[in-house]
Structure 1
Amino acid sequence: MARDPIQVLDERAAPPARTTYYGDDPAQVYDVRLPERVTRRLTVVVVHGGFWRPEYDRGHASRQAQAFADAGYPTAVLEYRRPGMPGGGWPGTTEDIADAVTAVRRDPDLDQPWVLVGHSAGGQLVTWAAAQSWAHGIRGVVSLAGVLDLADGVEHGVGGDAITTFLGGRPADVPDAYAAADPARLAPAIPTLLVHARDDDVVPFELSERYAAAHHGPHVRLTPVDGGGHYGLIDPEHPAFARVLEAVDLLAS
C-alpha cells in the first residue's frame, strides 16, 4: 500500500546537534544540524510551514533539514510563535523570523552566506523576508509551494481560515497588514527561487506562477515540478526533493 504523502508531517529525523534560543519564549529557538563534512560553504536556514498554526512545529521539517546536512550544508531550522501562542500572529511571527535570522547570522557554526528555504506558510515568510532591508547579505530564498498571494488565498479559501487568523482579518478589515505581509505586493531585493508542483491541491501552483509574473526580473525564477503534490518537496525520499536540492545548489554556486 502506497504511503500517504501527508505522513511526512509525522516523521522525524534524529535529534539535532543542538538547539539554541534567540529569544525568551520557548518557541524562539532554532535547531542546528551539521554535516559530517562541510562540502558546501553555505548555510541553509529552514522555515517550516503548517499554515502558521501552533500544532505544526519545526519537528516535521527535521528530515528535510537532515537531508540538507547530509548533502554537506550546515543547517538551521527556525521555530517561531504562531497565532494562538503568546505574541504569535501578525506581526510577532515575522518579527521572530527577523530575530532568528539575525541570531543565525551570528552563530559561529553557521558560516556565511545563508539561504532561507520555506515551505507553504514558510514560503510566505521567506519571500516576505526577501523584501526586507535586513535581507542584505543573504544569498537568496527558496519558496517551496509558498502561500505567495494572501489576499487571493483568502478569497479562494487556501488553508481555510489560516490566513485571516494569521493577519487578524480579511483584506478589507486589516489592509495595512496585507500591504506589509503579502508577498504578492512585495518585490524581493535578493534572488528568490520558487519551486512548486503543478498538482499541488493544498496551495495552488498558480500562486507561485502569479508571483513570478508580478515580480518578473533577474531576482525571481520559477521551477515547476510535474509531480509531488504539496508534500513531496519536503520529503527527502520523494523524487521532487531533488529539485529542491538543485535550487539550493544554484544559490550556493
Structure 2
Amino acid sequence: MKSRGMFIFGLLGCLMAGTTTAVHKAPAAVKPPQTIVYPSVASQVSFKSVTELQVTQPSQKIMYGDNPLQFGWLWPGDHASNKPLIVLVHGGCWLNAFGVDHSFPMATALSQAGHPVWSLEYRRTGDEGGGWPGSFDDIKSALKNLDALNQHGINTESIILLGHSAGGHLALLAASELTEIKFKQVIGLAAITDISRYALGENSCQTATPKFMNGLPHEQSADYHQANLIYRQLPASVTLLHGDADRIVPIIQTKLPAVNVEIIPAAGHFDWVHPGSPAFQKLLTVLDL
C-alpha cells in the first residue's frame, strides 16, 4: 500500500514539474455573470483534474505583508446571503511547487455558494523566509490583517478558517494561537496534525516534512513540539474532515482530542478541493451548520 501511495503522489509531482512561485496571475476567467456548474465526479479525484477545472476570477489581490508572496485573492461572494467570510489556506506539502492557484476551483464554488473567500498565498519551503516558522508566521499575519478586507465591503465579524492538508496544519495552528479571533468555525480538510509522526513516513509529502522543519524530529525537537497540534489547545469550533481512502495524509492524523471528526467513506486527498466530489458536498453541508 505504501509503494502504491508513493507512486501516486510521485506521479502528481511529475505532473506539477516546472510549477514555481512565479505564478501569481489568476487563471483565465469565465465571463460574468456566468455561473460554473461543476458536474458530479466519483471519489478519489486526481490533483491534475482539479487544476483543469474552470474558475471565476477573483475581484482583488490584497496584500497582508511586504513580501510579494504575502497576499490573498478575494472573491466577494453574495453580500445579500450574509454568509461568513472564508479564509482559505491551500495545501501542497508546504512546498513552493504548489501555489494558491490550485485553490481557485474551490474558492469559485464557495463564492458561488454565497461566501466571500480570501484564499491566501504564503512563503513555503523553497522560498526565502519560508518553511518553519516563516510559513506559519505568514498565516498569522494575514489573519491579523483582516481589516484590510473591510474597504472592499467584506464583513470580517464572522469568519470561517479553512485549510487543506499542509494548509490545514497551518490553519489549525493559527486558530490555537490567535485566541483573540473568535472563529465561527475552523475546519481542517485532510489536515496534518501530528507533524512529528508525519515526518517519519515514506510518501513524497511525508518526506518533504523535514525540509519544511529543517530536520527530523530528533534533530529539531523543540520546533516539532511547537509545530505539533497534539500539544496545542484548540477552540471548540474545530472540525476535521478526512477521507478513509486518503493515501497522502493517513487517517490516524485525525486523532486529536476534543475536536469534531467526520470520516468520509471512499474520499481521497484531493476530493476536498474538487467542487464536483461527494466530499466537497459534505463540506458545504458542514459550512451551513
TM superposition shift of 1:13: 1.4
The answer to whether residue 151 in structure 2 is matched with residue 110 in structure 1 is: no
For residues 215-240 of structure 1, the C-alpha deviation after alignment (integer angstroms, 9 at most, x for no partner) is: 12xxx100110122101111001111
Using the alignment, how far apart are the partners of 1:38 and 1:118 within structure 2? 25
Counterpart amino acid of residue 247 in structure 2: D
Superposition map of 1:160-239 within 5 A: 160-208=206-254, 210-211=255-256, 215-216=257-258, 220-239=259-278
The answer to whether residue 195 in structure 2 is matched with residue 122 in structure 1 is: no
Q: CA RMSD in A?
A: 1.8
Q: Alignment partner of 2:104: what SS?
A: helix
Using the alignment, how far apart are the partners of 2:133 and 2:219 within structure 1? 16
Look at both structures and tell me which one has the larger radius of gyration over its CA atoms. 2
The answer to whether residue 285 in structure 2 is matched with residue 246 in structure 1 is: yes
The answer to whether residue 188 in structure 2 is matched with residue 143 in structure 1 is: yes
Using the alignment, how far apart are the partners of 1:105 and 1:143 within structure 2? 24
Q: Partner residue of 2:106?
A: 64
TM superposition shift of 1:135: 5.0
Q: Alignment partner of 1:136: what SS?
A: coil
Identity of aligned residues (%): 29
Any conservation in 1 of the 2:50–2:274 contact (CA below 8 Å)? no
Change in Cα spacing, 1:13 to 1:116, as seen in structure 2 (3 Å) is same
Higher relative contact order (CA 8 A, sep 6+): 2
Using the alignment, how far apart are the partners of 2:127 and 2:225 within structure 1? 23
How many residues in Structure 1 have an aligned counterpart in Structure 2? 242
Using the alignment, how far apart are the partners of 1:249 and 1:91 within structure 2? 33
Name segments (4+ residues, structure 1) moved above 4 Å: none
Any conservation in 2 of the 1:130–1:140 contact (CA below 8 Å)? no
Superposition map of 1:46-85 within 5 A: 46-85=88-127
For residues 45-91 of structure 1, the C-alpha deviation after alignment (integer angstroms, 9 at most, x for no partner) is: 11000000001011000110111111111110011000110110111
Using the alignment, how far apart are the partners of 1:35 and 1:192 within structure 2? 23
Any conservation in 2 of the 1:31–1:76 contact (CA below 8 Å)? yes
Change in Cα spacing, 1:89 to 1:64, as seen in structure 2 (3 Å) is same
Using the alignment, how far apart are the partners of 1:71 and 1:103 within structure 2? 25
Using the alignment, how far apart are the partners of 1:133 and 1:80 within structure 2? 18
Unaligned runs of 5+ in 1: none
Using the alignment, how far apart are the partners of 2:163 and 2:180 within structure 1? 15
For residues 152-203 of structure 1, the C-alpha deviation after alignment (integer angstroms, 9 at most, x for no partner) is: 1112235142211111111111111111111122120341000000111111
Counterpart amino acid of residue 231 in structure 1: F
Q: Give the TM-score normalised by the residue count of structure 2.
A: 0.79
2:85 to 37, 40, 43: 43
Change in Cα spacing, 1:171 to 1:50, as seen in structure 2 (3 Å) is same
Any conservation in 2 of the 1:139–1:190 contact (CA below 8 Å)? no
Using the alignment, how far apart are the partners of 1:118 and 1:36 within structure 2? 22
Q: Give the TM-score normalised by the residue count of structure 1.
A: 0.90
Q: Alignment partner of 1:30: what SS?
A: strand
